[in-house]
Every structure is written in structure tokens, then in C-alpha cells.
Chains A and B, each alone.
Chain A
């Protein structure tokens, strides 16, 4: 028999299982132990929580901080801001919930040792913008990870979780997760009463602008492999707003951040001929989206839209005017340290191309699309809201529980709560964890049932790519071309090409329509069949194979959602050529999907947007 029979199986029985040890996962782990002193809390991470998730590299700002102690902002203000930026469509209950708690998380970070910058005049945290505060965050993740390690009963590093386990005693209830150790190859079975998915969103589902050695320099981390979505989707959890992908206007090639440049350094953009261009597209944008263009601040997607139109009109590149600000040595330092703190690659690009922003205004570009729940976008799982805030349509049990019982989520995983960023994701992890502890306590002595057959069947599936390779490799002399298997990189590049060309990527200027989406879905179906024939040479490639599977499932979801929403809600993020305008009459709503594994079908529906904040 095959590879799977040679693998050792390691069992872990726990109360709360946190899948993914990034910001949300570290918050969930810490909070689970705080409330669940007698519960066994386990965190499982595919890399090493010391440097995992989107904050692995560090951050130079915390983008979600109210400053309630100085009366700078109130939670309601943040809801209005996120709602405006997402063109009206967010879960206001979830956003409010994060905003009212986020300051306490940030204060703990400071107490734990995160160096905060302070305004020398007021003594308050140094504001970068209305919502952002500036930090020396090179060790942001190691600090947060230290707290999580102290809290957890066990942290399992280097285990790629591939599937969730379901309870066989009660339908639609989660019972744990399985995965494999990417170093030893051991098979891991986690049986847990509650599971909190804190995995990453999706980079590399669209073809990136750099496809050679630089393909890893995506804006979002290449290890964000959409497990946040695939794990819940596969067990039938409802998802929301998966069409709401994000495109980032950033410094060219390195995708270095622009936030501090716009907000703190007061740099601004211009076209190739030194002209301001955003106002030129005002009337045209108004035709598409109506009054949304008059909102302040201008929604991020609409600023992207003006950028793209100006490029199409032949007046690119768009540049950031840095030469004035960088004459100030303090601002120059902030500008560079901003990159070194969170996007070192941009410093490398500038050093290599002799771009000193003191003397040259650097080029900007728009990125390939990403699907995530934590930035200026809100794709993810449909979750129950806070008991004291959520309208009844948004509430069916425990806070942040998905439509699968016992399955919770935070960070990129949860849909509808945009603009949470690092601190809000951490906070949402805390919120989900407290609810998960309550859920476990309420279960009392109720027992879960996970049959040996359930995890043994998954074990066979998980290691199949190793077997595919071993068998198929013998057919050929050498090289990467086989008639019986494709490698993970082959599958990834096909996925990226389909999504790019049919579902609104860079090569079509983010444009798609029903015929394109329909064809894209057909091609995705064929890719799905081929994914049964992935060949993995070793455990590292086995990890890549499962990352690809997760990206694939998220991509299917994105394509179905994009087809369902018959309007162009976020011009600048993507366009439906057959429905080029925003349509509030029919589409001022959230989209929901549910994947049914038995019939391999996707059910789509609308859910109301409740505006609970004026």
C-alpha cells in the first residue's frame, strides 16, 4: 500500500483548538486561557508562531486604534469609516464590537514591550492618520507570540492543517482538525470541542505582476494560502462578500506601503506630466457610483479607479511626490524606516534602482487582487454577532461562531468586519476565544464522536500527492513534465492564470462579465479534477500541494460570488462589464454562499445590510 500507511498518527485531545498562530490566533490563544483556566488550549501553526502570518516581517503602524482615552475617536466613528470605505456594505455589529475592544489590546502590546511612538507635544501615541498610530514594530509578532506561548497548553509549529473534523454524534458540529507535520511527515489528529480558525487570507490566487524570481513579492504574504476560507467552506460554513477582493495602490515592484507617505509625510500623487488627476475623473466616477464619490474620505476603490483611468488614458506612470517632504531629515528617516519595518523589499528595489525619494519621485502601481477579511475589504465566513449589538438576522448563538456549530473564526477568516488590520484581528481573536470558552463550558459533559474511519479516510487523501509522484516519476526519465501528475507550482500557475483572465485580474484591468466568469468556472472545474493528480516530491511540496487546494477552493468561491453580484460595487477593485454601475436598488446587500460537498454545488443568497449606526 501507499505512503499514508507508513505515517505515524499523533493524537491531541483539547477543548479549544486555534488554527493559525498569526495575530488573530495569538489573540485567541491568549484569551482562551484567560477565560478557560481549566480548559486545554492548543494552537497549531504551519510555520513558527515566532514569525508567522502577515505580521511576520513587522509593522511600522497599528492601523486600528480608537484612542478613546484621549477622546480621539469612538467605536461608532470607526463603523462609519469602514462602511464608507467599503461602499456601504459591512457588518456594522462586528465592526462596532472590534472597535470598542481594540484599545485595550493595543495598551497590552505597549505594556508587553512594543515600542510606541509618541507625539512630543501631547504625549499621546503618534498619529499617522485618524485611525493609525506609529510604532517601532520590528518585533511586534515575536512579542505577541511570546504572550500566546505563555498562554497555550501546547503550541504545535510546522503543522499544516488541511481539513476540519466533524462530529458524528451531532450534525453540523465541528469536532477538530487534521493535518501533517511538514518536517517529520507525521499525521496529526486534533479532537477539539471548539475550533477557532485564525488562518490567513489569500495571496497568489490571481497571477501576480512579478512572475519570475520575484513572484513571492506579492503585497500580501505568499504564505497566506486561503486556509481561512477553505477550511470552513469544505464543512459547509456560509461565506460572505467573497467577491469583495482588494487591489492595492503601492510603490512599484516592492509594494511598499503608502499610508505613512500620504498621511504622515503628506506626500501626494501626480501623473507623468506633473498633473493632479483624481479630480479629472470625478464626473465619470459619479456616473458609475453616484453620491459615493462625494463621501469623505474618498473610498479606497474609487481612488484606485481614478489611478487606473489615468493610466488607460496614457498619462502614466503615476508617481508619489516625495522630493519636497524628504528634504526634511526627520521625514526622510520615517520614510525609509517605514519600509524597513514592514516591507524591506521596497528598500531593496530603491537601493538597486538608485531611487532616492529625496531626488526622484517614485512610481506607484496597482497590485493583483487579494482576498482577505482584515484590510480595506471584508471577505470571509458569515459569523454570529455580539449578543448586545447584533440584529436577529446576524445572531444565532455565540459571538463569531460560523454557521457550523462550535466553529469560530477571527482575522482574515471572518467576513463583514473590514479595517481591523493587525490590532483588530488580534482583538477579534480575543472576542472569538471568549465565546468559544463559553461554548465549551455550556457543552458540559457532552461527548464528541470522531470515528477512526473519518480521519483515516482523510489521511489517505492528504498523503496521496506523495504517492502520485512516486508512481508517476517512474514513467519518465527526468525533469518536471509527466503525463500523469502536475506539480504544485503548475497547478498554482494555472489557477492564477484562470483567475487573472476570467475573474478580473491585472491582465484585463480587473474587468470581467458573465460569459468570462462562466468560462472561468468551467476551467476551474477541470483544474479541480487535475488537483487529484498533484505530485509532491517531498513534504515541503506536500505543503505546497495543500496550500494550492485551499487557494483553489477560495478561488471557486470568489468566482461564484463575483458572478452572483450583478453590479460594479467597487470600481477600482473589479468591474462587471455587463453591469458597469453600482446598483443600490438591487444590491445594497451582502452576498452569502454555501458549498454543498455532496452535490458539489454552490448556493447563493442575499442577506440584508443592517445599518445600526447612523
Chain B
């Protein structure tokens, strides 16, 4: 379903332009609002829908196989840590789902540069960062049994 933008809701902030993995959300030069410049290169990934602070972006199923009259709406709330979905069928049936998106506060992942510097010995081993501890196993990193 290529995305489209509601004229009265978009304020031209450009969040969708920044995030679109396909580079197809652009700002229209006349209206100063976003629109999908290349619907046939839209993966319907909803990155723009989720990023829009005005909820101005929606999707209409691909014309070549999706009959009109449906909608799949997403509301991604970073502070709450959830995403909510509302699915509306062509015949009016509705389904709602809510899922968690993150269990920690945004921005809290430490930089590896702030961790203790690995030893020269570790550099020569097969272990990667945080190993063997992060493997949660006894006996260290598995060793191939054919090794001599």
C-alpha cells in the first residue's frame, strides 16, 4: 500500500523525508508538504507513518490488487513504549492490537567506547565484545571439535 499524505494534517516538518528507507517521501515545492514521489518503490514499511508527529500519513493498498475501503492505522508511542494498530476491513470489520516496542528508555544504550578497553590477549582470541560473559554459558566460547 503506497503511502499518501493528508493535505490538512501535514505541516511539512520532514520527519518522513528523513526516515524513509526508499527515499520516496519528499516535500512538494508548491504546497510545502510531504508526498510520496514514487509509490511503486514503496515497501509499505510504515516507517514514515510511524514517524509522523501529525498522524498525517496513511496508506491505501496497492491499486493492482487491493480493493478500496480498508485501512491499517498505526500509532507508535515511544514514551509509552507501545505501538497500537487498528485494522479496518473493506466490509467494516475491525481488529485492534497493541504491542510493546522497547523495554528500556530511549537513548540509554552505552557506547562501547566507554567500556573497559579490551586486553591485547582478548584481541588475539576468537571472542567478540562482551564474550564469553554474554553467552550465558559455562566453559567459554565453543571450540570446534575438529581443531587441533
Q: Measured between alpha carbons, how far is A173 from B104 in the docked complex, in Å?
A: 43
B66 within 8 A of A: yes
**B55 within 8 Å of A (CB atoms):** no
B28 contact set on A, CB distance < 8 A: none
* Nearest A-chain residue to B135, judged by Cβ: A104
Interface SS majority for chain B: loop
Which residues in B have their C-beta under 8 angstroms from that of A387? 126
Q: Give the distance in Å from the alpha carbon of A389 to the alpha carbon of B51 in the complex.
A: 45
User: What CA separation (Å) do A216 and B24 show in the bound complex?
Assistant: 11
Given contacts A216-B42, A351-B87, contact A223 B22 (CB under 8 A): yes
A100 at the B interface (CB under 8 A): yes
How long is the Cα–Cα vector from A175 to B67 in the complex, in angstroms? 52
A476 to chain B, nearest CB (A): 22
Contact, CB under 8 Å: A344 / B111: no
Q: Is A37 an interface residue (CB 8 A)?
A: yes
Given A210-B64, A221-B45, check contact A438 B123 (CB 8 Å): yes
Min CB distance B49 to A, Å, is 9
Select from chain A the residue with minimum beta-carbon distance to B42.
A216
- CB within 8 Å for A31 and B128 given contacts A139-B102, A389-B144: yes
Contact B41 A216 (CB under 8 A): yes
Q: From residue 126 to 172 of chain A, which have CB atoms closer than 8 A to chain B?
A: 136, 138-139, 143, 146-147, 150-151, 158
- Inter-chain contact B129/A56, CB cutoff 8 Å: no
Q: Is A481 an interface residue (CB 8 A)?
A: no
A108 and B70 in contact (CB under 8 A), knowing A35-B123, A138-B83, A146-B107?
Answer: no
> Is the beta-carbon distance between B109 and A356 smaller than 8 angstroms?
no
Find A214's partner among B26, B65, B105, B144 (CB 8 Å cutoff).
B65
Q: Mark A319-349, 1 if CB is under 8 A from B, else 0.
A: 0000000000000010011001100110111
Measured between beta carbons, the chain B residues less than 8 angstroms from A147 are 109
> Can you identify 22 A-B contacts, CB atoms within 8 angstroms?
A31-B128, A35-B118, A46-B23, A47-B21, A56-B21, A96-B144, A101-B128, A103-B135, A103-B136, A112-B109, A136-B99, A213-B40, A213-B62, A216-B43, A216-B62, A222-B42, A337-B97, A351-B87, A353-B67, A437-B123, A543-B23, A612-B146
A76 within 8 A of B: yes
B64:A139 contact, CB within 8 angstroms: no
Give the chain A neighbours of B85 by CB distance below 8 A. Answer: 340, 347
Bound CA span A400–B143, Å: 18
A349-B97 in contact given A31-B129, A35-B118, A139-B102 (Cβ < 8 Å) = no
Q: Can you name 14 extra interface pairs (CB under 8 A) apart from A182-B23, A214-B63, A351-B87? A: A31-B112, A35-B129, A57-B46, A69-B135, A108-B134, A112-B104, A212-B63, A213-B39, A213-B62, A216-B22, A340-B83, A349-B65, A352-B61, A540-B26
Minimum distance in angstroms from A360 CB to a CB of chain B? 12
**Residue from the list A76, A104, A143, A349 in contact with B102, Cβ < 8 A:** A143
User: Complex formed: what's the CA distance from A97 to B128 in Å?
Assistant: 11
A binding-site residues for B, Cβ under 8 Å: 30-31, 33-35, 37, 46-48, 50-53, 56-57, 68-69, 74-76, 96, 100-101, 103-104, 107-108, 112-115, 136, 138-139, 143, 146-147, 150-151, 158, 182, 210-218, 221-223, 253, 333, 336-337, 340-341, 344-345, 347-349, 351-354, 356, 386-389, 427, 430-431, 434, 437-438, 441, 540, 543, 612-613
The residue from A56, A115, A150, A441 contacting B45, defined by CB atoms under 8 A apart: A56
- Report the Cα distance A357→B76, complex, angstroms: 26
**Contact of A221 with B43 in the complex, beta carbons under 8 Å:** yes
Residue of B22, B45, B70, B132 near A352 (CB, 8 A) is B70
User: Are A138 and B101 interface neighbours, CB within 8 A?
Assistant: yes
